[in-house]
Amino acid sequence: MSPPELRAARTCYDHLAGRLGMAVTDALSQDGSLTPEGEQRLEALGIDLGSLRAGGRVFLRPCLDWTERRPHLAGALGAAIAARLFELGWIERTDETRAVRLTGAGAEGLRRSFAVRA
């Protein structure tokens, strides 16, 4: 059994996982591909998709979420999303685990930017 905070939101290597990671995945992609609306949302958030696509890392790949049992966003895009949410102060690391905590600003920002209710 996994602790509730790991199921809610955590990092998986350098990207988001858990229910929060799945909510962001669902808001931005469909059938494993980034949607045009998802691209617009990410660009508005300040993520440079062109640079990520031109980089040496795989742009987007699915990563099976061990608690939710379906894929979340990984690759350069997944890492960029997590990094940006940390930069904005929308999520914070917790002590001793990979769990992350959604901040009040993060709950509002995710609602506004991605239509995610956290």
* Per-residue confidence band for 44, with pLDDT thresholds at 50, 70 and 90: very high
Q: Chain-wide mean pLDDT for the chain?
A: 94
Structure tokens at 1: 């059994």
Contact 21, 13 (CB under 8 A): no
Identify whether the C-beta of residue 60 lies closer than 8 Å to the C-beta of residue 75: yes
Mean pLDDT (whole number) for 65-70: 93
Counting residues of the chain whose pLDDT is more than 90, the rounded percentage is 88
Give the per-residue pLDDT at 1. Answer: 52
Going by pLDDT thresholds of 50, 70 and 90, the confidence category of residue 96 is: confident
Mean pLDDT of 24-46: 95
